[in-house]
Structure 1
Amino acid sequence: MAISLGSMSSSSIPIQQTPPGNPVFVKLDPKYKCLKCRNVLRDAVQTLCGHRMCEICAFEIFDEQPSIRCPGNEDTCVPELKKEEIFRDPSARREVGALPVYCSYRDQGCQVQVQWRQLQDHEQICDYKTVQCSYVTNGCGVRGIRTAIEEHLSGCEYRDISCAYCGDNIILNQKQEHELTQCRKFPIPCPNGCGHPNLPRDEMREHVEVGCSKKPIHCKFTNVGCEFAGSQENVKKHEREAIDHHLQLTTVYTASIDLQSMEIRREIQDISASRDIYKRTVDQCLQEVGTVRQGLEISKMAVKDMKLKAVALTERVIHLERRVEDLARKDTVEKQGRDIQTLRDGQTNISDRVTQIERNGGGAGLGEGVPGNVGNQIQNHERQIGLIDVRLAELDLRLQIHETASFNGVLMWKIRDYARRKQEAINGRTLSLYSQPFYTSQFGYKMCARVYLNGDGMGKGTHMSLFFVVMRGDFDSLLPWPFQQKVIMMLLDQDTAARHLSDTFRPDPNSNSFRKPQTEMNIASGCPLFVSHTVLETRTYLHDDTIFIKIEVDTNGINPP
């Protein structure tokens, strides 16, 4: 099925795309080359005369000059190409995707030929693909084709192995360092040289601390600064020969203790003084806390009274809201209906009176001043009738808005007299139409739709443009801004109800179109190329000179005010 480029909108028609990349083709038939760029067809399109081009090349042709011929320049070619007469060519796209190509790793030795569309899948498993050693996280930087890397893995010095002593996972080239410094089960000799057999590292620590016969002993005067250590015999000899040295260390240590004692006494005095200050401060704070507690109790009572008053006011507000809702649903409509009927009856009476006055004014036997008075009365009555007509129109409009308003975020817009309204848009009389307002809830966002039947911007003259508008509402101050709800715009299928055209978007929070309105309505936002006239003006979407537009706003996540 050929699909016009100019008629595409946001429908759900699957389009086959040309595979990515720039492969080397085994053999490229000229019929699969673009008439403009002379390269392989990418996303092929076809003209009415049967010539093929890349889709992007086709669009570039229209950017270069306003009126062009087909690049084929044959007698059978159409005299002038039109954008809406260029169609996507699914058949050519399938054939291009099936063209045989060489593997991208041909230079590395791969001689496989596959279809273009299967090239990516083949390259993922190609034996000649350049890959990284799987032990790259351990520090290996070797790269090569897949077959060479598989041979490399068995001898890679960065591969993971299990320690023969402790069973931990280690890297092969770190095995020696692990055993000499870290492995808790690697056997090591006693560092004191006691001649004990080698023990695992974690057991050797206990041997050195407890069971080693050559464990060094410290001098008894270690606590006063003597650093001598050795065997038991050497320590005893040292203690006999170093008495003077030990006395000197003891004297120095005692003097330092005295200095420390003086410092401690001064610190104690400072602490005592600070304690007294802190005590007075605490007493003062306790007095202030008592005062604050009294104030807090008073505040609690005041808050309790305010809560009671708030509850009472809330109950009154709820009661009033219910009354207002009831009035808005029933009494207001009935009252407006009665007012309209009263105005209509008044208009009929006035018309009868005017007719009677005119009849009397034209009879015989009236004075010279009478016709003038009758004319003034007629003019007064006509002004009154005009005012009544205005009020009737306003009331009718209010009733129509009230009857058609939606409060669930869904707008169903029926546009009659499509042909006449489109012609008015073409003539410049009425470029766009606005729908009736609709709301996300009774107190929610106020919105409407705007349509350009003859298109706007890029779609002018070829498409119908559809936009979404955020309006100023009565409850905007209570709503979160910017407006962030998902919007779905649809043109409804009146034939099978299965081919609705739709476009979905989420508002850009930085756009002025979705900020809190400062005027009656924000700038419209939507799709200038929503649907082409060739698609719209078919039995599927245009029936009895009427189209239906539906707008759905996602109301999830909106917290009611």
Structure 2
Amino acid sequence: MALSSVKSLSMQQTPLGRPSFVNLDPKYKCLECRDVLRDAVQTLCGHRMCEECAFKVFEKSSPLRCPGNDETCVPTLKKEEIFRDPSARRETATLPVYCSNKDQGCTQEMQWKQLEEHILDCDFKSVQCVYEPNGCGIFTLKKNLEDHLQRCEYRKEPCFFCKDDVVIVHRQDHESMECRKILIDCPNGCGIAERPREDMKEHELDCPKRPFHCKFSNVGCDFTGSKEELEKHDQISFDHHLQLTTLYTASIDLQSMEIQRELQDISESRHNLKKTNDQCLQEVGSLREEMEVRKRAIKEIKLQSVALAERMIHMERRVEDCARKNTVEKQGRDLQGLRDGQINLSNRLTRLEQNGLYGGDRQSIGDNVAGILQNHDRQIGLMDIRLTELDLRLQIQETTSFNGVLLWKIRDYTRRKQEAKNGRTLSLFSQPFYTSQFGYKMCARVYLNGDGMGKGTHMSLFFVVMRGDFDNLLPWPFQQKVTMVLMDQDTGTNRLSDTFRPDENSNSFRKPQTEMNIASGCPVFVSHTMLETKTYLQEDTIFIKIEVDTNGINPP
């Protein structure tokens, strides 16, 4: 299978990762990256590269040479002459490698394809402590994990007092702040001691030494004391409390004024934002209407296909071989003249036979005339064949387009599609057409049963640049916009089309070095389900139109 098809069909046989090889034979190294072969492919001259490296080679400027660079190499490297190498892929997968945990002490060796499975159970791989959610950040070797777990300070053990599971490193904090059952003294110092924390909370509500806060604490008084002390404080701090209240009220008034100003600013901002929002809504509405119009006019752009693997067959129909109409008419007049001459000779022979001229020489004269007539018959037969051939070529010439537009009628759709399914005729080519009399030469190629990602489900349609007589006078690469259309035979309003502009870096649009360049187009142009409706298929016939934008082409 050629390189252009490998990318989509490649079987991933090379294992992942970059292991350390026990002894890597140079034959398993890529000629391009000098690393181990990954998904190996082979050139026509027998050299091997990674599949990805092979694609990168063709990103370089032409002409391309094989990286092997010896006398056995092909003169020019071509995509269609690079193939997948299943044998090398299998051999690469069995190369002996060291365990990835060699630096941690693992001494085992195994085949590359077995490395991933080995690493899952390797005793020397680094693993994280299972108590990581509790705060342990230790990584250790798998074989030492059990010992670590038994000593890890982030494992949980039951509290001595409340029996709740507590992380060992947090045990002291738990006992000093959270444990319900631990015995503690009254925090107010009332003399009650050694009660469980959960009972001490109830005691604090009725504790005679429970601290009380001044009822003016919300305006700034920070006094705290017993109930009796609080009453005395209220009596002697009346003026202080009044002063605090006045200051607090003044600050509240200032804050209120600030809030009013902020509310006014917010109101103005809200008004401006509402105004801006209304304008945005109007603009969004107009944009939405414009988008809807464009959606009705533009189809979703389809992805361009990857370059096809097959090379185009050679086309024999050439415009220069087509006879001019006046030549055919001249041949017809000559043929008619020969026929008239035959009739005259036949009449002369008849008169000679009737008159009996020349006596005994009558038989010889008849033989001579018969020979002449036979010679004329042969010439007339040859002229008939030549005239038929010229008629055919004239028909081809008369159907050739010189305005960049091809209208292709494909008859017997059902039979041709079945032949494509059976592998007999995978694709069909149209007659050539031109951007002008001395312009680019082009044709179309169709896969009725699909190609690549569209095989079996879609019709694939491609555009091909051909080698012409005036290529040396034309600008390259080919840069004209191409539109491919499936014609609507029902109402004429539901044409399916795909438009693309050539990629200047693609070999498909450079100056042809062979009869045809590699085709470019759409492998999923239209599904069989949609195509095989009366809209596009009638009387077992479909019509395909190719339009090439001829603007900007300066005639030679």
> Shorter-chain TM-score category?
0.3 to 0.5
Give the TM-score normalised by structure 1.
0.44
Give the TM-score normalised by structure 2.
0.44
